[in-house]
Amino acid sequence: MAQSYFDLEMASASAKARGRGALARAIALCIVLSNFFSDCSLPSTSKLVHAKYVEGKIVRSATLDKDTLLASLKTCLNGLTTEDAKKRLKEHGSNVLSTKMARRWYNILWNAFWHPFNIILLVLATISGATSDRSTLFVMCLMVVLSVGVRFYQEFKSSRAASRLSELVRDRAAVIRRENVSSIDSVEVEINQEDVVPGDLVILRTGDLIPGDVRILTSNNLLVRQSALTGESIAVEKYSDIIERESTPLLDLKNVCFMGTSVESGGALGVVISTGDKTYISTIAAYLARRTPINAFQKGVRRVSYLLICFMVAMVPIVIVISGLSTHNWGNSALFGISVAVGLTPEMLPMIVNANLARGALVMARKKCIVKTLDSVQNMGAMDILCTDKTGTLTIDRVAMVQYMNCEGICKDHVLEYAYLNAYFQTGLRNLIDEAILTFGEVLSGYRKVVDPSKYKFVAELPFDFVRRRMSVILEVDDLNSNSELKSQEDVEHSVKSSISWKRCILVTKGALEEMLGVCSSVQDTEGRVPMTPEYRKKLLSMGEELNADGLRLVAVATKELKRKHKQATFTLSPAPVHDKLSKVSNGQHKYKYIEEKDMVFSGILTFQDPPKESAKEAIETLERKGVAVKVLTGDALPIALKICKDVGIATDVVITGPELTLLDSDEFLSTVRQATILAKLTPDQKLKVVEALKVGNHTVGFLGDGINDSLALKAADVGISVDSATSVAKDAADIILLEKDLTVLVAGVTRGRVTHGNTIKYIKMAASSNFGNVFSIVIASAWLPFDPMKPIQILTQNLLYDFSQASIPWDMMDPEYLETPNQWSARGIATFMICMGPISSIFDITTFVILWFHYGIRAKERQAEFQTAWFLEGLLTQTLVIHMLRTRKIPFFQRTAAVPVVISSLLIVLIGLAIPYTPLGKTEKMVHPKASYYYFLAATVVTYICLVQFAKMVYIRVFKRWL
């Protein structure tokens, strides 16, 4: 509802600008009310306009110089006044995302109720009630209640709406405020993030959540983790000394931080550009608020439902006309036609389908897959394309050090030692690279001593910054022999075990390869120290490009011996200028420039990657063997994605990046995304478009992701899959939650989904073919007999018994061959199955009519009860037992046997059916005891029917190349 107020505000403001405020307010109010009752937010056009407006505002802010930006936001470096902040809070509203995704209980109930067969049953129940047929009325209403109840309970219990985004802004924020306009002095105050307004100057420190879309004014080694938006596992650098171009992609802006991201290290002073519903993340929330697009399962059920309804609408009038012409009692013929409509309606379809899905959800829960929406169980099995992110799915979701080498590519311990010392002694917040170095060094030292930090003493530190792109530590060395690579030529002549132990200081630096090469004048190779020539520099850069092409991140290491006089260092640390407000950010820690960070000795290179999971390759092979094409959609760089995909066995022949996709027209876009297996550097909107493009045609598309940047695609996919450790945005947009972010868990879910899909199709084909055969039999009987071939209550009883015999199908098994490939919904396939297999039962119905008419002489209306009882038994037994013929493409009982619950339910229904004529229920329905000789004919009919169905099945499979 809060989003609707936002819609009203936007529409009203626009109308006032045109001078038609009153009329526009009325129109806007109608739109809001319509959106409220339909439980959706902005129309798609409004969403697009809103998104373009938000993105355009952010980009424009990034292209302005600081003074112009502050002026446009009507603020200054002294911050807003308290009074001004209150006015802006009232004007712009609280800094929360007003889009609420929680589906109300009555929406879930309505969706559970709104099924074509439920409506048909209620219509027929109403007609039955009007004709005083209370038993039929009761049974039909019970079917509807059971069907709706099963679906409502499961979805109400497990499904939550698409996003609780307000959780992202519940922390505190440090802002700069002043008492009044005339006040010069400003103070730092902490407020709730909900109270942050556009124009506020915010102070960002390590661990802070960004309280809005923020333009950076001054910064100090600012690293921002925005993997939830971009998918990149490494924090990105943000700094103020840059003016972006309008062509820069939104998420690549270096001077803007986005709401929902967080500060990993460093600090900054920034000005808030936008808050709440006008932030970038709100454009994602607005999309998630709309109704979930119809998925493959819903499309399939809808087509099948319409097929059966059309068939019923076409055949029932024919039955009424033929019966009326034969009996000349049009009133009874109309009632008989209604009962036929009941018989033709698979009234248990919604209940059995929902029970089947609920059964699948329970089994998947035991396999660590939590199902939120029941349809997704079947869609998981029908899925033939899986789009997945890279980080945490194919990889272990943490940066790990791969190798260390000198300039010749040879593993040398001194390279690791210097990198370890740099990470160990730094005083700032350790990033993922530092942690990876320390972990690698500690593991290796567990086998052989590589690093001994106790021989060193920390002297000073030069923090990382994005101009130098490196960081250094100055260490005092107790024993020069522990660093033999640093010795001068005369020192090398001494033995490593000599007793030399004078004090010296060394500078140990690590950073980006190109920047490190710029401060090195020599190289430590295998033979010793040699000059850094242009050829050598070119060789090292080429080595770096090759390693990058393998998807590895690089860090270079260099060292330098510093001279000392009288135990005091001669090196100089000079502070770099920063904005005075930034002293509040860094707690007195200044950014330094080190005047002697030059003429260093290049030691070597370390490589890092987020390594693939051990189980990923086997899981992908299994998925592809099962007919599921795997595509990687990632916001990370292409070389890194290529390396990981090669390692896990994903084809890399056709790859493309997001910027390249933007240059394609619609036809080229569709063709490219279908062929490509790796799509890198994608924005959230591009992931959405890729998923929608892949759904074109008869494809069921799944998407596995865990970040905010994945939520749009999760919503659009036929089955959205997330993990328990994902952001709340992604989890709530998903249909299925994996308790482990592992493709192995997904494979188990796919298998169970195919069992569920197969059992659903099994029931629909059985019910459709059986009902189709019954129509032919009823039409022929109506034209032949001078009385109704069966009473309406008998038709309903037979139908219910048959349906109850199929109620155990959710516990049935599927042929292993069926589980090896995805199977899509096909109304045409169901129609073909119905037309080919249905009339077989009519052959035996007609045979029964002939025997009863000629052999037993049942021709008069006075003996109709005997005829009706005999046909009731024959129809029930053939329908019930043929389940075992239709459930598998193999020979039943010999090659494939149904699950125990199916066998038991079939036998039980057969026994109940045979007993009914001898019970009070049989008397109530005007049944009589069949002649003893009829049971011999009945047994022969059942056996012959089963054999003919098996023969027809073999022919059908040969012709159409499939069964279920």
As annotated, the active-site residues are 389
State the CB neighbour count (10 A cutoff) for residue 396: 16
Closest CA relative to residue 261, chosen from 197, 214, 219: 214
Q: Is 511 exposed, middle or buried (0-12, 13-18, 19+ CB in 10 A)?
A: buried
Give, in order, the Cα–Cα distances in Å from 175 to each of 172, 224, 540, 815: 10, 19, 46, 65
Rounded distance, CA 456 to CA 476, Å?
A: 6
How far is residue 442's CA from residue 464's CA, in Å, rounded to a whole number? 23
Residues 223, 235 contacting (CB under 8 angstroms): yes
**Interatomic CA distance for residues 731 and 436, integer angstroms:** 29
Q: Could you give the CA distance from residue 554 to residue 482 in angstroms, rounded to a whole number?
A: 26
CB distance 81 to 179 below 8 Å: yes
**H or E segment to which residue 331 belongs:** helix 330-344
Name, in order, each residue with C-beta under 8 angstroms of 13's C-beta and a sequence gap of 6 or more. none
User: What number of other Cβ atoms are within 10 A of residue 221's Cβ?
Assistant: 21
Q: What sign results for the dihedral spanned by CA atoms 185, 188, 191, 197?
A: positive
The pairing of beta strand 600-609 with beta strand 520-525: parallel
Centre a 10 Å sphere on the Cβ of residue 609 and count the other Cβ atoms it contains. 23
Of 804, 956, 828, nearest to 886 by C-alpha is 956
The per-residue b/e assignment along 189-207, b for 16 or more CB within 10 angstroms, e otherwise, is eebebbbbbbbbbbbbbbe
Strands 400-405 vs 256-257: parallel, antiparallel or unpaired: unpaired
| Integer Cα distance of 442 and 436 in angstroms | 10
CB 146 within 8 A of CB 135: no
Question: Strand 236-237 and strand 213-225: pairing?
Answer: antiparallel
Other C-beta atoms lying within 10 Å of the C-beta of residue 741: 23
Structure tokens at 767: 């019910």
What is d(CA 521, CA 532) in angstroms, rounded to the nearest whole number?
A: 5
Residue 189 pairs in a beta bridge with 175
Instruction: Determine phi and psi for 626, rounding to 5 degrees.
Output: -90, 10
Q: Which two tokens stand for residue 419?
A: 């990198």
Per DSSP, the three-state class of 891 is coil
- Amino acid, res. 8: L
C-beta separation of 257 from 203 below 8 A: no
Q: Which amino acid is at 67?
A: D
Residue carrying structure tokens 């990046």: 657
- Encoding tokens for residue 365? 């829960």
CB 785 within 8 A of CB 863: no
Q: Nearest-CA neighbor of 320 among 332, 308, 307?
A: 332
β-sheet bridge partners, residue 609: 400
Report in angstroms the alpha-carbon separations of 245 from 134, 380, 684. Answer: 75, 43, 21
CA 369 to chain centre: 13
Q: Which residues contact 531 (CB under 8 A, 6 or more apart)?
A: 521, 522, 523
- DSSP string across 703-718: EE--SGGGHHHHHHSS
Give the integer Cα–Cα distance in Å for 601 and 624: 50
